[in-house]
Amino acid sequence: MSITINDVAQLASVSKATVSAVLNNRPGISRSTRQRVLEICARLNYRPSRVARSLSVRETRSIGLVIKEIDNPFFSKVMKGVFDACTSRGYTVLLGSSELSPANEQRSISTLIQQRVDGLIVSPLQGEGVDFTYLYDLRRENYPLVTLGAIAHIPTNVVDIDNVEAAYTAVMHLAERHHRIACFNGPASSAHTQDRFEGYRRALEEKGLPLHHEDVVPAGSYVENGYDAGKALFSAPGPHPTAVFCYNDLVAFGLINALDELGLRTPDDVAVCGFDGVAHCDLARVPLTTVQVPAYEIGRTAALLLIRQIGDKESFLNERILLEARLVPRQSTYS
Amino acid sequence: MSITINDVAQLASVSKATVSAVLNNRPGISRSTRQRVLEICARLNYRPSRVARSLSVRETRSIGLVIKEIDNPFFSKVMKGVFDACTSRGYTVLLGSSELSPANEQRSISTLIQQRVDGLIVSPLQGEGVDFTYLYDLRRENYPLVTLGAIAHIPTNVVDIDNVEAAYTAVMHLAERHHRIACFNGPASSAHTQDRFEGYRRALEEKGLPLHHEDVVPAGSYVENGYDAGKALFSAPGPHPTAVFCYNDLVAFGLINALDELGLRTPDDVAVCGFDGVAHCDLARVPLTTVQVPAYEIGRTAALLLIRQIGDKESFLNERILLEARLVPRQSTYS
DNA sequence: CGACATAATTGAACCGGTTACATAAACAAT
DNA sequence: ATTGTTTATGTAACCGGTTCAATTATGTCG
């Protein structure tokens, strides 16, 4: 099938060992032999098999990235951060995605481990029905692992922002002008959902505002979810909230759309705050106030941390890196 | 280090061959042996090494996906299509991206081949300084390859839309009301840029409209590019175009922003048409008229085609699948 | 010129699976 | 009891690299 090291060795009339030495720039090869071998490699267009090498040296120079949603601009940026850091250091990225399903997450991780990736970056799901004993096992085996967000009871290397704090800040911002603030939560299976809700709760508490049960709605993470939740909440009878803190920007966009259709104006009738700071928040019909999360840096940092840990398995077993998120007020909360 | 088939064999007091047979559901294993082996696998939490298997059977059950921009919602959807099709068929996706640099493209492909992916999906660059002899070589070796967009002089399996036709339709739409239409081109290194421009040219020609040289500007593929190009074109002295056909939606968004800052209104002063139909075109400040490209289906179709070709290398050597794109008129071209 | 150090090269085992073939065991038929 | 047939399991080679001890070639020096 394809050219192997044996073909090269034979044509150069040297042993495989010599070819291997040449290709790995090991010393102790004569100038002439090196030249001849390289020439033949070029002529044959020889590409050493990484799978054979991986088997032998027990490292694949690849890492697995398991995100939650491929089709989410936030994760696109994370991916890019991971990708850039990895490729510049000779690592290949194998892609996994849970698409919010715990079963998929587990399957992805399992597959990647069978592929013998040198380490994993996981944006973990959490909540009901999420079994992370397998992540726990990885930890115990000292498998290089970085999670984007902490996992309850499992110490890992974490790269994230302080979601509670960021949500708190955002809601405090809304509370400057509003006294009834709703919360559109994200997927129940995401730890971020819980943290952001906690920030919301604290802000209300601090301001002495009541937490209306019916104002806390499980929305989701996509535009449609925000739209549906918005339609439901604001077409219900009775007085409505005058501001909504959304799990992410997409939900916020959907909400604004729903409000518009209901004849409610943003921000005059209802102020809306998003989260993530995906590109184009500033291009939206109503420029969106949001919490700018450094997604690219999260990805990049996670990759660097992971690679460091791959290199020295004993170090940084339990690092927790929190990057800065900042509130970017725009028109959707100011009239 | 990690558990191997030998460990399992030893504990079950059988040979590796037997363990292998059990794990691959090969017939001719006694009920009791099978059970015992499986039990021990479970107990040891044994995960067969795909790298060893790959070396042996000469297939990795993985494919490489090389896109042009990770951080571009269009490619996010393509990726998702590829990912879904692949994972449901047991293939892993290795990620590559040229980020519009031919050198990167080549490096990505080269790396993926060394990883011995079973096939490649490439969204190829094209134009000046793009050397695709290596893609040509792949073709000759009958390496499974699907490209998203044709490559000049190289017959491959192609999945794409008819860019010329789609651009033509879009520009004809603009030409219903406008007589001077600019074109914001994409990256010079993209074949799509050339095709879309060709559609633009044909539409003008058919309508008998003049093609002003200064109205054809190399913009790029990101929001900033559209913004910059817009600022430049519309702040120049003299009469301006009253419509712009943009390479993609992001450029269109940037342009609308620029126009806004220059005090020009969309669509009243300048009509704008995008391309791709990324999510949120309908959420933009000015809902964007665009050509809706079935990105997810492109990815999915490409993956299916590739996998089919991997299974039967002789078939479909030269398939050319064009999916439907359709114009979605919105406010940015209608007042 | 022989002894010895040094440089260059090779042989063989190994990584962890798969697989063709050989062998052993179980059982039926004669 | 012998042979044949079927079923279950084991042996060993192989995939394409890496690695290290052993070997051979080359060079230095007394």
Whether residue B109 sits in one domain with residue B193: no
- Mapped onto helix, strand or coil, the DSSP state of residue B216 is strand
Q: Is B76 on the interface with A (CB under 8 A)?
A: yes
Minimum Cα–Cα distance from A222: chain B residue: B279
B53 occurs within a structural domain: no
> Is the confidence at residue A128, as pLDDT, over 70?
no
For the stretch B16-37, pLDDT in tens is 999 999 999 988 888 889 999 9
A170 close to A183: Cβ distance less than 8 angstroms: no
Distance, in Å, from the CA atom of B179 to the CA atom of A63, rounded to the nearest integer, reads: 53
- Report if residue A53 sits inside a domain: no
- Is A320 within a domain? no
Q: A190 with A73, same domain?
A: no
Q: Residue A97 CA to D1 C1' — how many Å?
A: 66
Which chain A residue is nearest to residue B258, measuring alpha carbons? A283
| Sign of the CA dihedral with A61 first, then A67, A70, and A76 last | negative
Distance A14 CA to C1 C1' (A): 32
Name the band, by pLDDT with cuts 50, 70 and 90, for residue A41: very high
What is the residue type of B191?
Answer: A
Q: How large a percentage of chain B has pLDDT more than 70? A: 97
Same structural domain, A119 and A198: no
- Strand C contact at CB of residue B20, distance < 7 A: yes
Residue A321 lies in a domain: no
- B323 inside domain: no
Domains: count for chain A: 3
Query: Between residues 214 and 253 of chain B, which touch chain A (CB distance below 8 Å)?
Result: 223, 253
| Residue B82 at interface with chain A, using a CB cutoff of 8 Å | no
Put simply, the chain A residues between 259 and 278 with a CB less than 8 A from any chain B CB are none
Q: Tell me: do B279 and B167 sit in the same domain.
A: yes
Distances (CA, A) of B321 to A286, B275, B297: 39, 20, 11
Three-state secondary-structure class, residue A253? helix
Q: What is the pLDDT of residue A157?
A: 92
The continuous run of DSSP H or E covering A93 comes out as strand A92-97
pLDDT band at B142 (very low <50, low <70, confident <90, very high): confident
In angstroms, the CA A198 to CA B171 distance is 50
The structure tokens listed for B292 are: 């809706």
pLDDT at B128: 67
Query: Which of A 106-145 lie inside 8 A of B, CB atoms?
Result: 107-108, 110-116, 137, 141
What are the structure tokens assigned to B137, written together? 């070589």
- Give dist(CA A214, CA A232) in Å, integer: 11
Determine whether the distance from the CB of B56 to the nearest atom of strand C is below 7 Å: yes
Q: Can you say whether residue B312 is alpha, beta or left, with left for phi > 0 and alpha for psi between -120 and 50 degrees?
A: beta
Q: Give the span between the Cα atoms of B168 and B198, in whole angstroms.
A: 8
Residue numbers of B between 149 and 168 with CB closer than 8 Å to A: none
Q: What is the pLDDT of residue A240?
A: 94
What is d(CA A278, CA A328) in angstroms, rounded to the nearest whole number?
12
A323, part of any domain: no
Please name the member of A45, A51, A76 whose beta carbon is closest to the beta carbon of B116. A51
Could you tell me if A64 and A151 lie in one domain? yes
Q: Mean pLDDT over residues A72-99, rounded?
A: 96
Chain C positions within 7 A of any protein Cβ atom are 7-20
> Within 13 Å and on the Cβ side, how many CA atoms surround B63?
32
pLDDT band at residue A1 using 50, 70 and 90 as cut-offs: low
The pLDDT value recorded for residue A84 is 98
Chain A hits for B62, Cβ within 8 Å: 94, 115
Q: In this structure, are B286 and B310 located in the same domain? A: no
B73-131 pLDDT, tens digit per residue, is: 999 999 999 999 999 999 999 999 999 899 999 999 999 999 999 999 999 988 766 77
Residues B104 and B223 both lie in one domain = no
Mean pLDDT for A122-137 is 80
Contacts of A80 in chain B (CB under 8 A): 70-71
Q: Are strands A290-292 and A326-328 parallel, antiparallel or unpaired?
A: antiparallel
Q: Considering the domain boundaries, does residue A76 fall inside one? A: yes
**Interatomic CA–C1' length for residue A17 and nucleotide C13, angstroms:** 13
- Chain B residues whose CB is inside 8 A of the A272 CB are none
Q: Which of B293, B257, B286 is nearest to B167 (CA)?
A: B293
Judge whether residue B281 has pLDDT over 80.
no
Min mean pLDDT across A31-45, A143-157, A204-218, B98-112 is at A143-157
- Residue B99, Cβ density class (10 Å: 0-12 exposed, 13-18 middle, ≥19 buried): middle
CATH code assigned at A244: 3.40.50.2300
What count of CB pairs under 8 Å joins A to B? 126
Task: Give me the mean pLDDT over the A40-55 stretch.
Answer: 95
Q: What whole-number distance in Å separates Cα of residue B221 and Cα of residue B254?
A: 10
* Percent of chain A scoring above 90 in pLDDT: 79
3-state secondary structure at position B189: coil
Question: By residue range, what is the domain housing residue A172?
Answer: 163-293+328-333
Q: Are residues B144 and B187 in the same domain?
A: no
Same structural domain for residues B221 and B100? Answer: no
Residues B169, B138 share a domain: no
Q: Calculate what percentage of chain B has a pLDDT beyond 90.
A: 79
Q: Which nucleotide is nearest to B15 (CA to C1')?
A: D10
The stretch A301-310 carries a mean pLDDT of: 95
What pLDDT, on the 0 to 100 scale, is given for residue A28? 85
pLDDT at residue B315, rounded to an integer: 65
Span of A114-118, A224-228, B125-129, B232-236 with lowest mean pLDDT: B125-129
Over residues B254-271, the pLDDT tens digits come to 999 999 999 999 899 999
Read off the amino acid at residue B1: M
More confident residue, B114 or B155: B114
Comparing C-alpha atoms, which of A324, A328, A321 is closest to residue A279? A328
pLDDT beyond 80 at B70 = yes
Is residue A123 over pLDDT 90?
A: yes
In this prediction, residue B16 carries a pLDDT of 93
The CA distance from B134 to A294, in Å, is 37
Query: How would residue A154 be classed by pLDDT, with cut points 50, 70 and 90?
Result: confident
Q: A283 and B257: CB-CB below 8 Å?
A: yes
Q: What is the model's pLDDT at position B316?
A: 60
Q: What is the pLDDT of residue B203?
A: 97
Residue B320 covered by a domain: no
pLDDT in tens, A223-282: 899 999 999 999 999 899 999 999 999 999 999 999 999 999 989 999 999 999 987 777
> Is residue B313 within 8 angstroms of chain A, CB to CB?
no
CATH of residue A11: 1.10.260.40
What's residue B190's pLDDT?
82
pLDDT tens string A96-109: 999 989 999 999 99
CA of A36 to C1' of D20 (A): 24
Distance from CA of A68 to the nearest CA of B (A): 12
Residues B33 and B109 in one domain: no
Average pLDDT of chain B, as a whole number: 92
The b-or-e profile of B15-37 (16+ CB within 10 A means b, else e) is eeebbbbbbeeeeebeeebeebb
Which residues in chain B are contacts of A114 at CB distance < 8 A? Answer: 47-50
Same domain, B173 and B283: yes
**Predicted pLDDT at A280:** 76
| Contact state of A114 with B48 under an 8 Å Cβ cutoff | yes
Of the candidate ranges A123-127, A157-161, B320-324, the one whose mean pLDDT is the lowest: A123-127
